[in-house]
Every structure is written in C-alpha cells, then in structure tokens.
C-alpha cells in the first residue's frame, strides 16, 4: 500500500511512498535492538562527533529540506529554512554538551562507600511525531537520545512521509550505523503493536491531548516510560504599561508563526481594560496587513493550512464561537482560492465555554479578552485545561517575572514570544503533557539513572578529597 503526500497550497501530489509492511516492521525492530547493543557501547565522543556531522549534512542540504517541508505541509519557505538551521543547532548543542550532561555524579553517602549515579541508555525509543514542525520535532527528540546511546524509531505524521525519509537519510549520510534511527511508514492503527513490542523500551509523543492519552494508556499497560508534549492554548497577557508597538508586532508573529499551527503559539490575548481598545485596533490592523499566498514565495507571511480537513475543523470552531456571541473583527471565512488557505482572523467578546474559549484553535485565529486588571489577567490566563506556554508584556521587568511565576505553565516568558531553545527544558503541565525535552533534563528522560554503591573493606581508608 502506498502513502501519498499532497501539497496543501495546490492539491498536487508531491510524492508517494510504500507503507512499511508487517514483516519489514519486525525486521526494523530487530535491527534496532541489535544496533542498540553496539551503539550503547560506542564511546560518547564518537556519538557526539556523528551528531556534529549530522548538523553539517543539514546545512549542506538546507534548500532541499526546506523546500520539502514547504511542499508537504505548507509552511512559508523562510520559516522552513529557519527550521533546518534550528535542527542543526540542536545537533551541535548535544555534540558539545552530551558528555557533560551524562557524566557520572559522585554523591557523598556512607563514609566507607563510594556512591555514584550513572546515566545509562535504555534501548529503542519510539517517537510519534506531528506534521507542523516536521524536522524540528523529530530532531529535538533524536539528537539527545542518540547522544545518550539510545536508538530511535520514528512514526511520523502521514502527510509528511517525505520528511520522515529525509530525516532517516540525514543520519545515514552522517555515518550513524544502520538501525540507529529508523522511520516506520505505518498507520496510526499499528502504533499499539509497536508500543507493546518487548523490544521497544519507551515512547515519546508530540501531538493532541487525545493522542497523548491513548499512547500513555498503551505504554502504561506495558510499564514503559512516556514523555508527552501535547497541545496548548497559550495566553499572551498585555498589562497597562506594556510597550505597545513592540507588543503588537510580536503578538502578530506569536499568533501566525507556522501559519498559526504551533502548540506554543499565542492563542488567547488577555488585555487589561486601560489599553484594550488601543491594542485591539493596532492588532487587527497588523493582522490584516499580513500577506497570505504561495508559501514558496519569500514575501509570503502565511501559507495554507496543512490539510483541507484541518481547515474545516478550524472554521467550524470559529463559526460556533461567533454563533454563541463572539464578535468577528477580521477574517473568519476560508479564502476563495485553490488550496487550504485561511486568513488571519480576530475574535473579541468571546463567550465563556465557546470553542475559542475552551479549545485549542490550531490556525491563524486570535481571540482577545478584556480584563479589568493584573489579577484578573492571571486568573483568565490560568483558566484553561492546558499549561504549555505563556507570556506577559510590561515595562516593569520585576513585575513581569512575578506574573510569570503565577502562570500555570511549563514555559513563561516576559516581553518575548514563547519559543523552544536547546539549552532550556521544554514541556508543559496539566493537559499539555509531562516530561521535558531539550537541555540537561531532556537528555536524561530516557536513561536509567542508576545508583552504584561500592563498599570498601573495613580496614580501607576512605578517599581524602581536599
């Protein structure tokens, strides 16, 4: 059976790929297990050197990979280039820091014992990844886990099979052993069988909270660890002393990045009454000024939604919100052109419990809420089942940090849009998932944190440390 990828801007077929058969899937799992035995014993310096080479491969073929992403899921080409570079950055980061993050820790305990905490790889890890950042989401899993000595199995989204194959090719070209990173072109219905396979030791998923619950249930029944990075409905809080020009400019970027299809995009703009009218007027004008068009054109700000059905779901949420009393300030209708294009949309006066108040809107739709003061802004920001990112805008940085600490989120930014950075842990709370990716915390998620106790003879003198 073949899998086709379709360009959402044109409806044209980009390419077709043969689905991984049951026999091939079993062969890949067996090969991954065999490779792990070798890879886990490979000196970490060698693993780091190969990661650095993967970064080189990404940069050498940046144009090819960027165009592939844009063709398969529609992101503007400039953002696709930036995504390839960010993948190279995360490879560079762990090429430089993995050994430091994983080095043994000597812990003082019994005076007659030497006690050490070691961090050892656990085996093949299944990564279930989404289409919205088809390279970055994979590399932020792959780089730390390959550096740690694990091997990776990728089940990518069905609409980006070309990206899945290309990522596998990056590691092959970089010199990683066969089986260190394998792409499985399988359906969602086959995921449970892979999770339940004894050769798979852990699972990570980036996707919807519904998918996260299903994967966590399957993995939990097998006592396998999971890391879940799920959806978000990030608040963007504007206080009365916010630097308005910078705030509005960043607000538009924070909502529309990746055609609005980002889990950490600002989605709920919560504005105190003193500056509400000014913010809305300027925000609507700036959203309206964005260029919607061919994502291969460098002048385009917003390309198509990744699939027609996703755009239809988004439009249904907008329609229901308006029917319940929301005020449409801009956009709100699919564009009359070929492709899955939805315009920048702004809704105000959103009723409680409307879709735009309770659900994640995964597209270029912004909702603006009026609140009387800072306390009400914090309360509204936290009034969601999600808890991924949040930002606050104010001239007073001490005030900003204090408010940031009040957010129920895994990430909190002051006067900056929410973003991921290889040097910092990434992840959420509540229905946005658990566990962390990136940084020291990320590379230690899928390792055996092992205590080693070496007891000395009674006559031995303990080591003296000056």
pLDDT digits (tens, 9 = 90+) for 386-426: 999 999 999 999 999 999 999 999 999 999 999 999 999 99
Q: Stretch 302-321: mean pLDDT, rounded?
A: 98
Q: Stretch 200-212: mean pLDDT, rounded?
A: 97
For residue 11, pLDDT over 90 is answered with yes
Q: Identify whether 229 is a catalytic site residue.
A: yes
Structure tokens given for 378: 């914090």
CA nearest to 251, candidates 292, 291, 285, 274: 285
Map the chain to HEC letters: CEEEEECCCCCCEEEEEECCCHHHHHHHHHHHHHHHHHHCCCCHHHHHHHHHHHHHHHHHCHHHHHHHHHHHHCCCHHHHHHHHHHHHHHHHHHHHHHHHHHCCEEECCCCCEEEEEEEEECCEEEEECCCCCCCHHHHHHHHHHHHHCCEEEEECCCCCHHHHHHHHHHHHHHCCCCCCEEECCCCHHHHHHHHHCCCCCEEEEECCHHHHHHHHHHHHHCCCEEEEECCCCEEEEECCCCCHHHHHHHHHHHHHHHHHCCCCCEEEEEEEHHHHHHHHHHHHHHHHCCCECCCCCCCCCECCCCCHHHHHHHHHHHHHHHHCCCEEEECCCCCCCCCCCCCCEEEECCCCCCHHHHCCCCCCEEEEEEECCHHHHHHHHHCCCEECCCEEECCCHHHHHHHHHHCCCCCCEECCCCCCCCCCCECCEECCEECCECHHHHHCCCEEEEEEEEECCCCCCCCCCC
* Distances in whole angstroms, Cα of residue 440 to Cα of each of 110, 119, 424: 27, 12, 8
Catalytic option among 263, 406, 437, 445: 263
Cα–Cα dist 415/394, whole Å: 7
* Distances in whole angstroms, Cα of residue 6 to Cα of each of 157, 162, 183, 338, 433: 13, 10, 19, 13, 30
What local confidence, expressed as pLDDT, does residue 1 receive? 74
Catalytic option among 62, 71, 229, 360: 229
pLDDT digits (tens, 9 = 90+) for 343-357: 999 999 999 999 999
For residue 463, pLDDT over 70 is answered with no
- Lowest-confidence pick of 107-116, 207-216, 288-297: 107-116
For residue 465, pLDDT over 90 is answered with no
Q: Stretch 331-352: mean pLDDT, rounded?
A: 97
What local confidence, expressed as pLDDT, does residue 462 receive? 54
457: confidence class by pLDDT, cuts 50, 70, 90:
confident
Cα–Cα dist 170/154, whole Å: 14
Mean pLDDT of the chain: 97
For residue 290, pLDDT over 70 is answered with yes
For residue 458, pLDDT over 80 is answered with no
460: confidence class by pLDDT, cuts 50, 70, 90:
low
Q: Stretch 48-62: mean pLDDT, rounded?
A: 98
What local confidence, expressed as pLDDT, does residue 452 receive? 97
Residue 82 — φ and ψ, nearest 5°?
-65, -35
pLDDT digits (tens, 9 = 90+) for 148-173: 999 999 999 999 999 999 999 999 99
For residue 76, pLDDT over 50 is answered with yes
For residue 464, pLDDT over 50 is answered with no
Q: Identify whether 406 is a catalytic site residue.
A: no
Q: At what angle do helices 77-102 and 62-73 cross, to 10 degrees?
A: 120
Domains and CATH numbers, the chain: 2-230+432-452 (3.40.605.10), 234-414 (3.40.309.10)
pLDDT digits (tens, 9 = 90+) for 171-200: 999 999 999 999 999 999 999 999 999 999
CA nearest to 80, candidates 58, 63, 98: 63
């Amino acid at each position: 059976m073949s899998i086709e990828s379709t360009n959402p801007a044109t409806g044209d077929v980009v390419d077709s790929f043969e689905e991984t058969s049951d026999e091939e899937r079993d062969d890949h799992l067996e090969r991954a297990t065999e490779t792990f035995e070798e890879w886990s014993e490979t000196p970490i310096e060698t693993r780091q050197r190969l990661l650095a080479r993967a970064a080189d491969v990404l940069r050498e073929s940046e144009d090819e990979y960027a165009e592939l992403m844009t063709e398969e899921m529609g992101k503007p080409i400039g953002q696709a280039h930036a995504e390839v570079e960010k993948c190279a950055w995360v490879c560079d980061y762990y090429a430089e820091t993995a050994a430091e993050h994983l080095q043994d820790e000597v812990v003082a305990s019994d005076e007659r014992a030497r006690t050490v905490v070691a961090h050892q790889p656990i085996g093949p890890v299944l990564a279930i990844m989404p289409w919205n950042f088809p390279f970055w989401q994979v590399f932020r899993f792959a780089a730390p886990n390959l550096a740690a000595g694990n091997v990776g199995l990728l089940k990518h989204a069905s609409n980006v099979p070309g990206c899945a194959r290309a990522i596998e090719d990056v590691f092959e070209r970089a010199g990683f052993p066969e089986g260190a990173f394998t792409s499985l072109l399988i359906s969602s219905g086959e995921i449970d069988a892979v999770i339940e396979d004894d050769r798979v030791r852990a699972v990570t998923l980036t996707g919807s909270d519904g998918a996260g619950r299903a994967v966590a249930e399957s993995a939990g029944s097998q006592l396998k660890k999971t890391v879940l990075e799920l959806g978000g409905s990030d608040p963007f809080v504007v206080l009365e002393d916010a630097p308005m020009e910078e705030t509005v400019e960043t607000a538009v970027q924070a909502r529309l990045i990746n055609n609005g299809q980002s889990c950490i995009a600002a989605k709920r703009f919560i504005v105190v009454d003193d500056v509400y009218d000014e913010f809305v007027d300027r925000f609507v004008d700036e959203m309206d000024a964005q260029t919607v068009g061919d994502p291969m054109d460098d002048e385009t700000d917003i390309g198509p939604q990744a699939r027609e059905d996703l755009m239809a779901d988004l439009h249904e949420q907008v329609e229901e919100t308006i029917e319940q009393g929301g005020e449409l300030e801009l956009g709100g209708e699919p564009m009359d052109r070929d492709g899955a294009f939805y315009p920048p949309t702004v809704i105000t006066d959103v009723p409680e419990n409307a879709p735009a108040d309770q659900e994640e809107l995964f597209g270029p739709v912004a909702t603006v809420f009026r609140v009387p003061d800072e306390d009400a802004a914090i309360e509204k920001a936290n009034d969601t089942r999600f808890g991924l990112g949040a930002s606050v805008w104010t001239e007073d940085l001490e005030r900003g940090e204090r408010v940031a600490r009040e957010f129920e989120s895994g990430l909190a930014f002051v006067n900056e849009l929410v973003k991921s950075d290889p040097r910092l842990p990434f992840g959420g709370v509540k229905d946005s998932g658990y566990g962390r990716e990136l940084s020291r915390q990320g590379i230690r998620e899928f390792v055996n944190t092992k205590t080693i106790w070496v007891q000395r003879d009674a006559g031995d003198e303990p080591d003296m440390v000056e």
